[in-house]
Structure 1
Amino acid sequence: NLEVPKSWSVSDEIIRFKNQNDNNVNASVDCRSHVENARVNESLLLMKFYSLSSGVVNHLLTNIEGREVDLPFEVTDEEREIIMFPRSSFILGRSAGDVAPILHQLFVTVSPKLCYAVKKHVSHLKSFASENASENNNFADMDDLDEMAEFRDIPDTYVDIEPEKYPLIITFHKFLMMLDGTLGNSYFERFRDVRGSSQYEGTRSIALQTFIRRNEVTYDRFRSLYWPHFNAKHTKILDPSREFTEIMSHIKGGLKEGESGETKRSREGYVSLSECRVSTLCAEKRDAIYDIFDDNEQMKVERGEFDLADFVIDIHLRLKNEDLMGDKMDFVYIDEVQDLTMRQISLFRFICKNVDEGFVFCGDTAQTIARGIDFRFEDIRSLFYNEFFMKSSRICEPSASGRREKEVISDTFCLSQNFRTHTGVLRLAQSVIDLICHFFPQSIDVLAPESSFIYGESPVVLEPGSDENLIMSIFGHSEHDGGKWVGFGADQVILVRDDSARNEIFNYIGKKALVLTIVECKGLEFQDVLLYNFFGSSPMSDQWRVLYEFLKEKDLLDSTTPKSFPCFSESRHNILCSELKQLYVAVTRTRQSLWICENDEELSKPILDYWRRLCLVQVRKIDDSLALAMQRASSPEEWKSQGVKLFSEKNYEMATVCFEKAGEEIWEKRAKASGLRASADSMRGSNPKEARVMLKEAAEIFDSIDRADTAAECFCDLGEYERAVCFIDRST
């Protein structure tokens, strides 16, 4: 006999158990009553509640193949309020994790990895609803990441989408390609290399895929191939990241009231932004930025290249002149919205006319570190009113808009419950948020501090036990020392600022740990994180001392504080904003342990003084016992799983390391070949001879593992079309 546990309906009169100390972000934490070394993700899993019904029982009993059961768990009252909210809404969270309500029609995000995770979850929900566990088989075993990333099972059009494809879960790039394919007269028809062959029966041709990969001007391409050719007088006072952000987010990606989506901002309009209260750029610098923008646009035309903003502006222009055919969405959910520009977001109004209740925007401006993106979450609400609501066909008369504005534009829902990590990490992350809010209040949306059900150990600042390099102290032991020194496992990572820092680590430790840059790790999470030399490699250099101004205001100075320190100037210290946001992303990648390792004590002293005053970190000298405790062994299955995640993020170098440790020879070759192809793309302009050598080697490796279609694409890149056709014939 089955006895179902008693349950009660949700009521405001029932108070959930909560530790009152959770409300104080700086409260001391008594960890003695908790199992500090428990895995945070497992502890959180135990705190999720599941409704037991006859359907759930049947699902459990019929799962006879031994696969992991994925049940729809009970949401919190906070999450339930958002899910049941009847109108279009705006959801702002930090790193809370479980922010997505059940989707109905269209889910869009920039990250292919997030798309894959959501698609898998929806597949499980469908399986549960239909009481047919076997429906998951094909998806769970899906091995073709290239096809997944390109969404080749979905045509590049909104016309006649097969019903079983819904809910549609796609990347923003796929969303644009579907708009382009639906409108006709594709944007890419203007380019000679793909004219007349951009699509074949609604799918992208190999020629078009190759063209996009080789000719789209991303930030990396802009920095390496374009930036060196601009006026040195301007490039000396500007940095490429800020220039690219201004071009993509403000000159070509901004959308202020009264502007149309199909035009770029004029020089006069852009320079006048210096008069805004929140501007950190003077008119002279904005004029220099616009000079570089003009040179950039001319250079792109000469090279036959484009950037994403060009594509978006062209789609806006065509949508102005023709109706969008095909399916219209009833509901649209846009996640990680902070990775999109205003002009990109405004495209969603054409695909869904259900303005009142059809949109959910979710994101976090504290994590706006994507190159070329710069806005606050509050800007989206303004955009929604001006571009979605005011241009809706539901607005029939001027008086109607005034009556309905408050009904349609909802308040922003804020998620404060974190399901990724513990309070020790969250308190440190909040201290970084406090700095951003103090120095750059217009660059971030203010939220209540996050809380977690799990207490945990404070992050650890590592000090060298001798004059030896800290990294060598941790990893410098021989693998033959009794087998104890195993290095980092698959769910541990060293985070660095850039490729040069990564190469420095590799020179020390080889393949004993995964090493990612902070930009690469966004959207990923790990059990343990070692943040290496963030302040020592910072362009802020000794200007981090400006933090003492904040400590002085908060009465946190003591006798060890320097007697003099710089006063904060938003124009002089504007790079501090991006530095703090990168720091926030880095410290929130961990679920369990965070170790902070710095080579230059003077440069890191201001932030460490701040954290010590608030008792947010502990300082430990590195020795053999600590170094040994930091390292974890992983199984081949765990290495393969991490490799697949990194491969889907196009981090082929680290994926290759994972597959090598997993003993997955075919995956290792595939990752190596994909890395060669990516490297060839990046150096095609600077070193075409070496690029061709890499492409040929990649094609040979792809061919050796029976991936003739990908080998064909490599030969298309090389211009060897006859050989490409031979491989295409073999793959069909």
Structure 2
Amino acid sequence: MDTERGFLSREEYLGLSPHRCRLKAEAREKAYRYFESYQSTLDEKGWWDEEDRVSSAIQKLREQRDHEGMAKVHYHRIYVDEVQDMTQAEIYLLMLAAGENHNALFLAGDTAQSVSQGVDFRFEEVRAVVNKASGRIEKPVKLSRNFRSHEGILQVSNVVLDRLHKAFPKAATKLAKDTGLVQGPRPGLLRLSLEDVKLALGGNNRLRVLVRDESKARFQEELGDDARHMCMGIREAKGLEFRDVVILDFFKDVEDQSQHKEWKKLLLDSSKEDLSSVAATMELELKLFYTGITRSCDRLFFVETADSMGFDSWCRCLKGSQLA
């Protein structure tokens, strides 16, 4: 936000404390090389990306403020949900749009659902942005009462959260376990053909099929025109809710087949308090899975069209805990 070109130099990036950047030194070097290559392509072709647009908007609002004493764009109140997928620069842009009045901002989000690639959101970063604007901010209010999902679903989502906190303690704010207003049916674990899934969709207009976003186009094609609209990517569905949800082929469609062993380690070695040996890629996997699970209000089904070690481990985990 304070650099001339809107991004950190190599020295500034490599010098960030572990509190600001969780990547190790070797990974940071590699990440910055990729960034330099990417930025070089943008410069060469005269292209811009989302962060360039944010930086440009920040610069324009700052210029207006410096010339006129305050930004012309001045909203009295700004309410933002799903803030966990925003960068510091985007939050600072909101601050400027509110005339740098931090009391005009109401931000809500769940760091366990931070599923955007390249964003490592922490509410402490919001405090840093506000401090930069010479403001003071209240401590975040932590909410644990869930008005969407019942206990049958929340007990399962809490299993995923437990593994996330054990394997990646800094990945998400640790809160009290979610509790629902009522009890409800346990999720279903099913091994079905895609034809069976199509039949289920034909008789239930309130049901949605959630898949990995990279697989959405393929599933929509296979499900056909009548059911295409009922299939969504998990990232696409973030922030939405549906009465009934099928999470389809979450384990079958993993990009890296070695992750099946990581799922087994996570789900069946639950007695271990330290799961730090789990591969770093599993942090995003756990958050993605948690996000999909928590879209459901009433009925939840985990459906796979093929056997896998990951799905077998998930079934054993839930059945062993009498949660399915």
Fold-level similarity (TM above 0.5): yes
Give the structure 2 partner of residue 283 of structure 1. Answer: 25
Match of 1:593 among 275, 299, 317: 299
Greater relative contact order (Cα < 8 A, sep 6+): 2
CA distance in 1, matches of 2:244, 2:101: 43
Match of 1:616 in 2: 323
Report the AA paired with residue 7 of structure 2: K
* Letter of the structure 1 residue corresponding to residue 317 of structure 2: Y
Return the letter of the residue paired with 1:614: S
1:280-679 maps to which residues of 2 (within 5 A)? Answer: 280-323=22-65, 324-326=70-72, 328-353=74-99, 355=101, 357-384=103-130, 386-388=131-133, 390=134, 408-463=136-191, 469-475=192-198, 487-500=202-215, 502-504=217-219, 506-507=221-222, 511-512=226-227, 514-538=230-254, 539=256, 540-547=259-266, 550-553=269-272, 568-569=276-277, 573-598=279-304, 599-617=306-324
Question: 1:504-539 deviations in whole A, cap 9, x for unaligned?
Answer: 564366634621111221122211111111112223
Is 1:266 matched with 2:9? yes
Asked if 2 retains the 8 angstrom alpha-carbon contact of 1:280 and 1:574, the reply is: no
**Structure 1 unaligned spans of 5+:** 1-254, 393-407, 464-468, 477-484, 555-566, 618-732
Using structure 1 for the length normalisation, give the TM-score. 0.40
Q: Which residue of 2 aligns with 1:59?
A: none
Q: 1:267 to 1:552 in 2, by over 3 A?
A: same
Instruction: Please give the alpha-carbon distance, in whole angstroms, between the structure 2 residues aligned to 1:437 and 1:603.
Output: 19
Shift of 1:325: 4.6
Is contact 1:332-1:358 (8 Å) kept? yes
CA drift of 1:592 comes to: 1.0
Instruction: Encode CA deviations 1:166-215: one digit per residue, 9 max, x unaligned.
Output: xxxxxxxxxxxxxxxxxxxxxxxxxxxxxxxxxxxxxxxxxxxxxxxxxx
Rounded Cα–Cα distance in structure 1 between residues aligned with 2:144 and 2:29: 41
- Asked if the contact 2:153/2:186 (under 8 Å) is kept, the reply is yes
Q: Give the partner amino acid of 1:496.
A: V
Write the deviation string for residues 243-297 of structure 1: whole angstroms up to 9, x where unpaired: xxxxxxxxxxxx6xxx558631111222234x61685533233222222212212
* Residues in 1 aligned to 2:72 and 2:122: alpha-carbon distance in whole angstroms: 33
The letter of the residue matching 1:521 is A
Change (3 A) 1:412 1:455: same
| Offset, 1:616 | 1.6
- For the residue of structure 2 that corresponds to 1:415, the secondary structure is coil
Return the alpha-carbon distance in structure 2 between the equivalents of residues 506 and 577 of structure 1. 30
Q: In 2, Cα distance between the equivalents of 1:529 and 1:280?
A: 34
Q: 1:610 to 1:581 in 2, by over 3 A?
A: same
Shift of 1:310: 0.9
- For residues 179 and 129 of structure 2, the distance between their equivalents in structure 1, rounded to whole angstroms, comes to 30
- Contact 1:488–1:512 (8 Å) recurs in 2: no
8 Å contact kept, 1:502–1:517: no
Paired amino acid for 2:125 = D
| CA displacement at 1:327 relative to structure 2 | 5.4
- Tell me the distance in 2 between the aligned counterparts of 1:608 and 1:337: 32
- Work out the CA distance in 1 between the residues paired with 2:31 and 2:108: 31
AA partner of residue 552 (structure 1) = S
Q: Which residue of 2 aligns with 1:191?
A: none
Equivalent pairs counted in the alignment come to 315
Equivalent position SS for 1:494: strand
Whole-angstrom distance in 1 between the partners of 2:220 and 2:261: 23
Between 1:287-296 and 1:590-599, the stretch displaced more is 287-296
Equivalents in 2 of 1:288, 1:537: separation in Å? 27
Q: SS where residue 527 of structure 1 aligns?
A: strand
Identity of aligned residues (%): 28
Q: Distance in 1 between the 2:209 and 2:317 partners?
A: 23
2: distance between equivalents of 1:316 and 1:278?
22
- The 1:505/1:568 distance shift into structure 2, 3 A limit, reads farther
SS in 2 for 1:287: helix
Please report how far the alpha carbon of residue 355 of structure 1 lies from its aligned counterpart in structure 2 after TM superposition: 3.8
Cα distance change of structure 1 residues 602 and 505 upon mapping to structure 2, 3 Å threshold:
farther
- Matched residue SS, 2:297: strand
Paired residue secondary structure (2:32): helix
**Matched-pair contact (CA < 8 Å) for 2:216–2:232:** no
CA contact (8 A) 1:531 1:596 kept: yes
Q: Which residue of 2 aligns with 1:238?
A: none
Q: SS at the partner of 2:108?
A: strand
Task: Identify the range of structure 1 (286-295 vs 326-335) with the bigger mean alpha-carbon deviation.
Answer: 326-335
Distance between the aligned counterparts of 2:201 and 2:37, measured in 1?
52
| d(CA) in 2 for partners of 1:447, 1:487 | 39
CA distance in 2, matches of 1:327, 1:277: 33
Distance 2:185 2:98 in 1: 46
**Residue identity opposite 2:76 in structure 1:** D
- After superposing on structure 2, the runs of 4+ consecutive aligned residues of structure 1 that deviate more than 6 Å are none
**In structure 2, do the counterparts of structure 1 residues 327 and 314 end up closer, same or farther at CA, with 3 Å as the change threshold?**
closer
The 5 Å alignment of 1:9-24 reads none
Structural RMSD (CA):
2.9
Q: Distance in 2 between matches of 1:352 and 1:569?
A: 44
Aligned partner letter, 2:209: I
Q: Secondary structure at the match of 2:147?
A: coil
Cα drift, residue 474 of structure 1: 4.4
Asked if structure 1 preserves the Cα contact closer than 8 Å seen for 2:113 and 2:288, the reply is yes
Cα pair distance change 1:291/1:553, threshold 3 Å: closer
- Give 1:326's aligned amino acid: K
Q: Given residue 346 of structure 1, which amino acid in structure 2 is its aligned partner? A: Y
For 1:601 and 1:278, the matched residues in 2 are separated by: 37
Q: Using a 3 Å threshold, how does the CA distance of structure 1 residues 500 and 316 change in structure 2: closer, same or farther?
A: closer
In structure 1, what residue type is equivalent to 2:311?
A: S
Instruction: Return the offset for 1:497.
Output: 1.2
Q: What is the identity, as a one-letter code, of the residue corresponding to 2:207? A: Q
Instruction: Name the amino acid aligned to 1:289.
Output: A
Residue 492 (structure 1) shift: 1.1
